[in-house]
Amino acid sequence: MSFTKEQFMEVLARIAPNRYLQALLIILLFLGLAKLVDVILIRVVKGWIEKTKLKVDDQVLEIFHRPVFLSIILFGLALATEKLGFPGTISFITLACLKTIAVFYWALAATRFLKLLLNLVSRDESWFHLIQDRTLPLFNNLLILLVTGLSIYIVFLVWQIDLTAWIASAGILGLAISFAAKDTLANLFSGVFIMADAPYKRGDFIVLESGERGDVTNIGIRSTRILTRDDVEITVPNSIMGNSKITNEAGGRHEKFRIRVKVGVSYGSDIDKVHQALLDVAAGLPNVCKTPEPRVRFRAFGNSSLDHELLCWVGKPVLRGRVLHMLNTAVYKRFMEEGIEIPFPQQDVHIRSVSTHDQTDDPTTDDQTVETLKGY
């Protein structure tokens, strides 16, 4: 059997005919009801929840038990206000203030609850690829803006403020801002997708399509910052990074980077001796990785040399220049010790002289030659 608001008021009228006393009874009754619900939530429900292994339910209860408690009290105050029968303006302002307080507390609870959901979703990237630890601050800020805007809209409705002109003005303003800040918006969306797709991360060594190389020091919403080997910081807008070819030398299965030393030896050299000398040089440098092992490849028969390539790995891409210098120096010194010649490009020019006695004395030939030249 349902108990309506009118029946509740009739019962109060029988108990206390004075409206002020009725209002006081309503307030006391709802205070007691709020306390009872709070005790049930804290002692009974919380005790049952603590037996579970999940921590999420404890956090959800902590978020919502206070708004529920305050909502019951505010509802009782609203009923008491109606029972007192204040003049229209005073009653409207009082009820609107109570509703505004309720909206504030529930908006705060909704924000905390949605943040909790975002944290849970970000832990499992198989659900939503866009929501990750890197993009979590951005989505938290967007969530706050969304809940705040919705709360303000509800408060305007509570105070009976006409929103037609406000919405029209906001639409025109938003259109103007979108045209004026189109580059900023492009960088913003590109930054979100870079953080979500993660073609590179902070600390990676990347090469831009324009040729710049360096460590990624920061990935922001608007731009990406790269520190080159010359200790010069480059700031690249995310819209460019999102539409360019980026080579991530620190990507792949591991951070190791393979370097290639191209060297040619003269024809007639003992290539087994050459191979062993190159491997010995790679094994003698501490910055060269032992795993994967260095290797030598005989690439081609060149015009002036037998072209070989020494392949070895370094721990980080940033070491490429230093190790390549050390390898080139060591290879040259080792070849000098072993007597292995590194040829340089050369070309033989043969000059042939023609004797005057070999020329023909036939005047007919000379006449034909003259006629031919005249034809030109």
- What are the residue ranges spanned by the domains of the chain? 5-167, 168-252, 257-338
Determine which helix (DSSP H) or strand (DSSP E) holds 186, and give its type and residue range: helix 182-197
Sign of CA dihedral 352, 357, 362, 363: positive
Token look-up 């003269």 returns 266
Under DSSP, the state recorded for 288 is B
- Residues in the chain, how many? 376
Is the domain spanning 257-338 CATH 1.20.970.10? The answer is no
Top CATH class, 168-252: mainly beta
Question: In what order do the strands lie in the sheet containing 257-265?
Answer: 257-265, 306-314, 295-301
Per-residue pLDDT of the chain (376 residues; tens, 9 = 90+): 456 777 777 777 777 778 888 889 889 999 999 999 988 888 888 778 777 777 788 888 889 989 999 999 999 999 999 888 888 899 999 999 999 999 999 999 999 999 998 888 877 766 566 676 667 777 888 899 899 999 999 999 999 888 777 777 777 777 777 676 778 878 888 887 887 778 888 889 999 998 899 999 988 878 999 999 899 999 999 999 988 999 999 888 888 999 999 999 999 999 999 999 999 999 999 999 999 999 999 999 998 899 999 999 999 998 999 999 999 999 999 999 999 999 987 777 778 776 655 555 555 545 544 444 444 3
Same fold, 168-252 and 257-338: no
What is the model's pLDDT at position 99? Answer: 94
Q: How far apart are CA 119 and CA 128, in angstroms?
A: 12
What is the model's pLDDT at position 291? Answer: 92
What is the model's pLDDT at position 357? Answer: 54
What is the model's pLDDT at position 121? Answer: 82
Determine which helix (DSSP H) or strand (DSSP E) holds 113, and give its type and residue range: helix 88-123
Burial readout 197-212 (b: 16 or more C-beta within 10 A, e: otherwise): ebebeeebbbbbeeee
What is the model's pLDDT at position 358? Answer: 53
Burial readout 309-330 (b: 16 or more C-beta within 10 A, e: otherwise): bbbbbbeebbbbeebeebbeeb
